[in-house]
Structure formats: structure tokens, C-alpha cells
Amino acid sequence: MYFTSTRSNLNVTAAQAIAQGISTEGGLFVPSAFPALSSKDLENLVGMNYKERASALLSGYLTGFTAEEVEYCVNGAYTGTFDNELPAPVFSLNGGRHILELWHGPTCAFKDLALQILPFLLTVSAKKSAPDKKIVILVATSGDTGKAALAGFADVPGTSIVVFFPQNGVSPMQQLQMTTQKGENVAVCAIEGNFDDAQTGVKKIFGDENMKRFLEEKNMEFSSANSINFGRLAPQIVYYFSAYCDLVREGKIKLGDSVNVCVPTGNFGNILAAYYAKQMGLPVKKFICASNKNNILTDFLNTGVYDRNRPFYTTSSPSMDILISSNLERLLYHLYGNDAKATAALMKQLSQEGRYEVAPEILSTLKDEFYAGFCDEESTQTTISALFKNDNYLCDTHTAVAVKVCEDYRRESGDETPCIIASTASPFKFAAAVLGAVDSGKAPEDGFELLEKLSQVSKVPVPAPLSSLKSLEIRHKSCVKKEDMADFICQFLQ
């Protein structure tokens, strides 16, 4: 298994792709082919636990790793880190809707499934591709990635990590999770701007010649913990297979039955992982791409025009408040027949003009594979309330967006295929919005009182990783302009 770039013809190993994070010309690493699973392979996965499934599936991409190295990474990530040793349990609602709960890890968000294993993948990869260099992890976050990356990389030998988040662009609980992070090798900084400003700034820093010289002098190398790093993306493939296998084992579906997959989508990494799972053999009929009021992906998947020249909205589902969906580049590369020149041209047009339009045949393929819809703020609240009242199920704002768009798809299409709905965060991470949807009383102003009130109303205990924040000291207070991000990094690494 080798990897190439979405913008040039390369041939690198998995270790090189993971250690480097992003290609030198700005492209994203993609597999040259997808490991193919037979029906017998899928049947074998049904009888496995999550760690065994992860080892089996990741081995298809990590062909330069020994079996012992893969198991070391998987066991390190998924042993003693998730509730009840179940990283991705499935909760079935009525009507063939199955909630894939991805928030039972140390930061209560889906990013844990990948960011608990990435430090292991990265350190093993670095020993193979850059054995003498210190790896500097550079992260832009819209909320959840930052804390999950910090938790994964804090005090990991041979690494440092720098996280940027948009000032006033994450929830108070998300900000508290990041700014209280301990670790001698971590730095956290707000920026004056939104997530796209942070993400664009990080991408520019990766390609900055002055920064490259600075790192060379210090014998350091950048890598990424964002889903632009294939080492972040690959572990997300696992939980879609795992959810399918669990449904088979529980008798909810039969082996070989098709399912739909619905994902609340911002940077397109989570839903792309489901798309990759289908390329490997998972029987997915339709991908349902759910957006919030920042519905740029809805418009793109319906019209073929990607245009970020539009208003940016701050919503109650901030992890989806994104206008530049980086992982969409990978999908375009595959749909254009692995044509790096075509993909590079589209990305250049996006950078220079803020928009691009795909060919008619590409749009036709997109419509065959994807349904796209969005959910406004009022409908998000209504959906949280209805799920709690009718199904006795408490969900966060992002999951509510997915549930609403899934319902829209079913109503419009008449398609009652069982649907796996990705639930990406604990409802307690967005306690103010969730409490407002399920309780009409006056909400406490204090964040921790909010958690307790939501717990009392819902009869669901507050997750320990959130309740424990109350006693932690705020350690990171920096805020810089977006043009000063590189200076902040250099000062930290000095």
C-alpha cells in the first residue's frame, strides 16, 4: 500500500504520509488503492471486538507496519480509555434509526476515536521516516479536535503540539477543556477570527519557507492532527464497520444488507471515512450529509458549485461552522479518476476566487452517492426536544442536525433503509443549548451548574471528563491575530 497526493504524483509509504501530515505542495495524502474486504472478511469482523476490528482494518492501510506495531497502536489507544471498554456503541431508536455514539472517550467527542490512536501511529511512523526529528503537531480546531489532540499528545516523548481555536467560536465547555490542558509540550492559543481563518493560517504555515528553515535548524518537523492527516482519517473508517457488525450481531440487520449513513458534517472527514468504508466493501446505499446554517456542502452536493463567498454563521453546533471543508478535496480526487492536475486546479480556483464548479458527470455521481440537507437553529432545538420526549434519548446539537436531515431524506425519498446516524459529541458539551430544548425553566448562568441541571432533568449523569474541569486551572490565555500565528509557534518552540 502506497500513498499519493491529491495535487501531484507521489509514491510514499503510510509511515511517510502520517509523519508528514500534508504533502509539500499542499495536497492531501490518499491511498493508491482501497483494501478490499470479501463477504467472508466482513463476516469474520462480526465476531470480533472493537480492538480486533481496528487491527484487521487498519492493517490493510498500514502495510509498512508489522502486526505487532499495529496491535501496539490499537491496544494503546483503546484499552482503558473509553466507557465500559466500548469505544463506539450503537443505540437503536425506533424506525430503523441507529445512533452511533462516538463520544465515550476522554474528551466526550468523536475525535477521540482517532486522536487516541494517532500519537501511537505518529511515533511509530516517525521512527521509520524521520527517526531523529522532533515532531511538532499543528492543529486548527472548531472545538473538539483541539482537546482530543491535546489529550492524545500531552507529554508524548519526541513531540510538541500547538492548537489554535477561534476566539468566541467554540462553546465555553470546549474552550475550558483546551485552556486547562496540562503538559510541558503543549501550547493553546485563540485567534481573532473564525475556524476557516485558523485552518487557512495553519495550512499556510505548513508551506512557509521561513518556517521550514526554522524547523530545520531545530531538527523539527511539522505534522498534523487534523483530519487532513491520513492517520486521523483511517481510524474513523473502523467505527462504521464496527457499527454495521454490531447491528448484524444484534439481529437488527442481516449480513449483506445495505444501510444508509448520516453524518453531521463540517470538514468532511467523518463522512469521507464512511465513503472509504464503502470503497472497501461496506454495503452503504446512501450517504446523508447533514449541515447546519452554514450549508455550503448542501449547496455544493445539490448544484456542483462550491462557493465560500457567503455569510459565516456562529451556531449552536460550532464544530460544523465551517466554509472550507478540507477533506472534500480527497473525494474530488477520487471522483476525477485520481487526477491530481484536475484536483489541484480546483483547489487553486478556490484559493484565488473562493469558488469552483465540478463537471456535470461529477455532479451526477455526487447525487447518486449523497443526499444533502441542512438544519437551522430552531429545528435543531425542536429535534432535541422531540427525541427526548418521544424516544427518551438526549442528544447534542450536532447529532440533532443529523437526525433532522435524516428524517427529511426519508420523508422526501421514501427510503426506509436502516440508517446509522453518527452522534459526534456528548450533549453535556453543549449543555446550554440542550437544556434550553428539554426544559422550560430558567437556565443557570454558571457552566457547571448547567451540567448539573441538565443531569437532573435528563436523569443522565454528567461525564467525568467534564465535571472534573471545575477544579482545573486555566493555563493557556493567549490570543493573537491570524497573521501572528507563525510568531506564536516560533516563540513556543524557542
Catalytic residues: 111
Count of CB atoms within 10 A of residue 72's CB?
15
Alpha helices in 208-339 (DSSP H): 209-217, 230-249, 269-280, 296-303, 328-335
- Find all residues with CB under 8 Å of 251, minimum gap 6, and list them: none
Return d(Cα 389, Cα 382) in angstroms, integer.
10
Query: SS3 string of the chain?
Result: CCEEECCCCCCECHHHHHHHCCCCCCCCEEECCCCCCCHHHHHHHHCCCHHHHHHHHHHCCCCCCCHHHHHHHHHHHHCCCCHHHCCCCEEECHHHEEEEECCCCCCCECCHHHHCCHHHHHHHHHHHHCCCCEEEEEEECCCHHHHHHHHHHCCCCCEEEEEEEECCCCCHHHHHHHHCCCCCCEEEEEEECCHHHHHHHHHHHHHCHHHHHHHHHCCEEEEECCCCCHHHHHHHHHHHHHHHHHHHHCCCCCCCCCEEEEEECCCCHHHHHHHHHHHHCCCEEEEEEEECCCCHHHHHHHHCEEECCCCCCCCCCHHHCCCCCCCHHHHHHHHCCCCHHHHHHHHHHHHHHCEEECCHHHHHHHHHHEEEEECCHHHHHHHHHHHHHHHCCCCCHHHHHHHHHHHHHHHHHCCCCCEEEEECECHHHHHHHHHHHHCCCCCCCCHHHHHHHHHHHHCCCCCHHHHHHHHCCCCCCEEEEHHHHHHHHHHHHC
Closest CA to 428 of 400, 466, 384, 398: 466
